[in-house]
Amino acid sequence: MTITGKMTPRERVLNALEGKPVDRPPVANPTSIMTVELMDMVDAPFPDAHRDPEVNARLAATGHTELGFDSVYPHLSVVQESSALGCDIQWEGKENWPSVRMEKPIWRGPDDIKIPPDFLDHRDTATVIRSIEILKHQFGNEIAIIGKTMGPWTLCYHVFGIQNFLMMTIDAPEVALQALHRLKEVSVLFGEAQIAAGADLLTFPDHATGDLVSAEYYRGFLLEIHQEMAERLSAPLILHICGRTLDRMPFIAQTGMAAFHFDSKNDPVEAMEAVEGRIRMIGNINNPETLYARGPAEVRGEVRKALDAGVHIIAPECAIPLATKLENLMEIPKAVEEWAAEHSASTDGANKSSNGGSA
């Protein structure tokens, strides 16, 4: 089937996630692309943008209106769920993301885990849910709205502390598994609330990174839970894990999730080979060296490298540094359009490779 007309950004993203034809590879952001300049532009600085839905939506919208991405994404930090669970949050100012004070864990083991009955009404979860409603009202079915719900592995880091939780996985793996199963209910609760509010898909960060744990850990502790999440959550999921993940990609490909958002520490060609077409891939433009420190020419080069490797959706590898220059971010969609035009011209409308291009 050949796609001749121009698709809406939302159609483009959703089609790519389902492996259907697209007019060009989408540019999306399963993690934040907000910068200090965008905050100034729409008067939506941190930390207000995390905690006020109107301000949050105003900032999130610039991902499409200013940068030209096919998606908008109202999650500007990683703290919403953990804040609503009772974790201590360091809110920071304009130039820093808030963070969970993991050195002050709130729980010691799975028996302590209690999801507050007003979890979805907490200011920090409610802000995102309301912001999604505002974005849905603003963009309708034109732009893909990406929500996010943290996976239980990351939530365990937040509520128990990283070191405590990793020790738990060694000393009492069955207890750690129990904790994961209890906290996965937070992922479902918050995820479904965002889908009901208008999110078209969800990022599912669960940081079982190769920089901290082995691929065997991923298989033993998380694979089944992630498969369950893909079944239970009623929208496509994008699994996000930072760092080196090549060794666990064959397992990730079995989760049933729509896509995997991967880091630039993994070569895109090797990553595509590792998943063998069983999951769509999103990424993996480098943040600290390319988007933050270099210029549009280098950004363009990395985008083309990812597209040539067959990466289905182009995105920064993770939340971008807040002082990233706008011209570098705006170069991403430009480079994708340029690449798509060249490939369309060179093949005269025929197969545009494995990026989900028209066939």
Partner 1 sequence: MNGRAAEVLERYGRCLQLIPVDRNFRDITIGLHEKSGVLTVWSYSSKPGVSKRLRQVRDGMVILGGLLPETSTQNQARFACGEIHVTALRILFEEAVGRQAESLSSPSPLQVQDLRSHLVLNAIPRERREGWMYQISTSGSDDTEIAQQRVRSTIGGLQRHGEMELTDPAAVAFPCGERHDELVGLLLTYARNAS
Any contact of residue 98 with partner 1 (CB under 8 A)? Answer: no
- Other CB atoms within a 10 A radius of the CB of residue 351 amount to 12
Site string for partner 1, 279-308 (x = CB under 8 A): ----------------xx------------
Any contact of residue 43 with partner 1 (CB under 8 A)? Answer: yes
Residue from 115, 172, 330, 359 touching partner 1 (CB under 8 A): that is 330
Residue from 29, 62, 194, 355 touching partner 1 (CB under 8 A): that is 62
Least Å distance, CB 94 to partner 1, is 6
Task: Write phi, then psi, for 137 (nearest 5 degrees).
Answer: -65, -40
Q: How many CA atoms lie within 13 A of 143 on its CB side?
A: 27
Residue from 105, 316, 333, 357 touching partner 1 (CB under 8 A): that is 333
Amino acid identity at 216: E
* Residue number, 166 or 326, with CB nearest to partner 1: 326
Residue from 41, 120, 189, 230 touching partner 1 (CB under 8 A): that is 41
User: Tokens 């971010």 label which residue?
Assistant: 329
DSSP secondary structure string for all residues of 86-135: T--EE---TTS--EE-TTS-S-SSGGG----TTGGGSHHHHHHHHHHHHH
Measured between its terminal Cα atoms, the distance across the chain in Å is 5
Q: Whole-angstrom Cα distance, residue 35 to residue 287?
A: 13
Which stretch in 216-224, 253-261, 282-290, 326-334 sits in contact with partner 1 by CB under 8 A?
Answer: 326-334
User: Tokens 């952001």 label which residue?
Assistant: 29
User: Tokens 């129990």 label which residue?
Assistant: 178
Least Å distance, CB 41 to partner 1, is 4
Counts of helices then strands in the chain (DSSP H, E): 15, 9
Residue from 94, 108, 123, 137 touching partner 1 (CB under 8 A): that is 94
Using CB under 8 A, count the residues that bind partner 1: 25
Any contact of residue 322 with partner 1 (CB under 8 A)? Answer: yes
Which stretch in 22-30, 218-226, 276-284, 318-326 sits in contact with partner 1 by CB under 8 A?
Answer: 318-326
Least Å distance, CB 330 to partner 1, is 7
Residue from 18, 40, 216, 289 touching partner 1 (CB under 8 A): that is 40
Q: Which of 85, 88, 50, 56 is nearest to 72 (CA)?
A: 56
3-state secondary structure of 77: coil
Any contact of residue 92 with partner 1 (CB under 8 A)? Answer: no
Q: Whole-angstrom Cα distance, residue 158 to residue 176?
A: 14
Angle (deg, nearest 10), helices 223-232 and 173-197: 20
Least Å distance, CB 66 to partner 1, is 4
- What residues make contact with partner 1 under the rule CB under 8 A? 36-41, 43, 45, 62, 65-68, 93-95, 295-296, 322-323, 325-327, 330, 333
